[in-house]
Amino acid sequence: MTDTAPLMITMEAVNKWFGQFHVLKDINLTVRKGEKIVICGPSGSGKSTLIRCINRLEEHQQGNIVVAGNELTGDLKHIELVRKEVGMCFQHFNLFPHLTVLENCTLAPIWVKKLPKKEAEAIAMQYLNRVKIPEQAHKYPGQLSGGQQQRVAIARSLCMTPQIMLFDEPTSALDPEMVREVLDVMVELANEGMTMICVTHEMGFARQVADRVIFMDRGEIIEENPPQIFFDNPESDRTQLFLDQIL
């Protein structure tokens, strides 16, 4: 990854509180086009809050966040522009249970992008092919395994052709035998050049695809390094302690 690729995300001295609780402390982060960032850290350290600030599911109180050239202020126009460029996948897939897989994938393209139904369906089928479940298109989410549902959720995000994908522990609610199929899709996406931030404790995935791995603890970025340094020779004792606990 070159230092000259365009900036996709910058966070500068970002602070956030939930009431009195200081959840993000002076967060600085720069992500260039095509970079893959993995964020790990203990439960409650602010990982979800950090990535949710990037598409304004949470509002920060101090500092600057610029995503795909748009600064996140209270300006609804900018928030809309940012959300167009950012796809997000959660631990719980959040599919609409009363819609088929195909309808889940075409809903936003039809209503937000105003695509004709036929065109939206053709695009959705392309992405369902990419995540290797085109044959499930007419089923309902409840008829699919967890791994299949998460792949639908990824396909659904991709149907909006985002420039950036955020993943928040996409495999942690899955049965172990289904983790690989979801990670494989994420690796493919990474290899195709998608800009990605992934909160995950799948350290094999981090080693394989991450340009940088970030360790968060108590609202702070404690360490940010390429995987070789991060795993084999971390700068911070707190990183080492965390790795000892999870590896």
Which residues bind to ligand ADP, rule: CB under 6 A? 18, 21, 23, 41, 43-49
Residue 182's alpha-carbon distances to 178, 202, 219, in angstroms, are 7, 11, 28
Residue placing its CB nearer to ligand ADP in the complex, 123 or 197: 197
Q: Are 160 and 87 in contact (CB under 8 A)?
A: yes
Q: Are strands 195-199 and 164-168 parallel, antiparallel or unpaired?
A: parallel
Residue placing its CB nearer to Mg ion in the complex, 48 or 148: 48
Output the smallest distance, CB 64 to Mg ion, in A: 23
Question: What does the alpha-carbon distance between residue 215 and residue 243 come to, in Å, rounded to a whole number?
Answer: 10
Output the smallest distance, CB 138 to ligand ADP, in A: 35
Output the smallest distance, CB 241 to ligand ADP, in A: 16
Binding site for Mg ion (CB under 5 A): 48
Output the smallest distance, CB 157 to Mg ion, in A: 18
Residue least distant from Mg ion (Cβ): 48
Output the smallest distance, CB 13 to ligand ADP, in A: 18
Q: At what angle do helices 117-130 and 146-158 cross, to 10 degrees?
A: 130
Question: What does the alpha-carbon distance between residue 67 and residue 38 come to, in Å, rounded to a whole number?
Answer: 18
Residue placing its CB nearer to Mg ion in the complex, 48 or 200: 48
Contacts of 27 (CB under 8 A, 6+ apart): 11, 13, 14, 15, 50, 63, 220, 221
Residue placing its CB nearer to ligand ADP in the complex, 50 or 194: 50
Nearest to 198 by CA among 23, 40, 34: 40
- 44 makes contact, choosing from Mg ion, ligand ADP, none, with CB < 5 to 8 Å by partner type, with ligand ADP
Report which DSSP code applies to 172: T
Residue placing its CB nearer to Mg ion in the complex, 25 or 139: 25
